[in-house]
Amino acid sequence: MQTVGPESGTRDTAAGGGGEDDHAGGFELLDVALVSDEIGRLTVPLDGREQGPFELPEGAVVSVALTFRLGRDIDGLVFTDTRLRDGYVVSATQIPLGSYRAGGPYEVQLSAERLPVGRHECATYEVTGSFSDALRRVLCTESHRFRIVHQPRAVHPHMT
């Protein structure tokens, strides 16, 4: 995991009230991107459930970059990544991100992972990412659909 911040130049959107009882009001998700040598940097539109599914090549090594801003200090920030295929949970991972002071934007790049390989794995997945604090209060949730697509293998001329 790599964390960068605070910086300037990130777009500003409203996240909510920010009062004492509004635990999500201090968290603002600015950007979600997939980063890979195979696909470059693919920015995922926020609130874009209808804008998918995005196609990703099987076997690609991909990391997720998350950019956020905080209106208050947040202790014990956790990112939960849940993936469904055909309505069944195929993985759910909680990733502790640490504690952050009010400000930002902060960018966190999660560890890279290899996407599944094989025709059986080529399907549409619904991915939901949630941020929560140390008290397990959900601060933000974002869902998107991705389709892993088969990549034809090159045939060497001497093998035909």
Q: Which of 70, 133, 120, 47 is nearest to 90 (CA)?
A: 120
- What are the C-alpha distances in Å from 145 to residues 47, 84, 126, 128, 155? 11, 9, 4, 9, 31
Distance CA 77, CA 98 (A): 5
Q: Cα–Cα distances in Å, from 77 out to 2, 5, 107, 123, 143? A: 15, 15, 13, 31, 19
In this prediction, residue 56 carries a pLDDT of 87
CATH superfamily to which 2-6+24-152 belongs? Coagulation Factor XIII, subunit A, domain 1 (2.70.50.30)
pLDDT for 19 equals 36
- Domain ranges for the chain: 2-6+24-152
Average pLDDT of the chain?
80
Q: Which of 137, 28, 152 is nearest to 80 (CA)?
A: 137
pLDDT bucket at 155, cuts 50 / 70 / 90: low
- Per residue in 45-64, pLDDT (tens digit) is 886 555 668 888 988 899 99
- Global pTM value: 0.75
Residue 117 has pLDDT above 80, yes or no: yes
Mean pLDDT check: name the lowest of 44-48, 70-74, 116-120: 44-48
Q: What is the average pLDDT across 90-103?
A: 94
**Is pLDDT at 103 greater than 60 in this prediction?**
yes
- What is d(CA 100, CA 93) in angstroms, rounded to the nearest whole number? 21
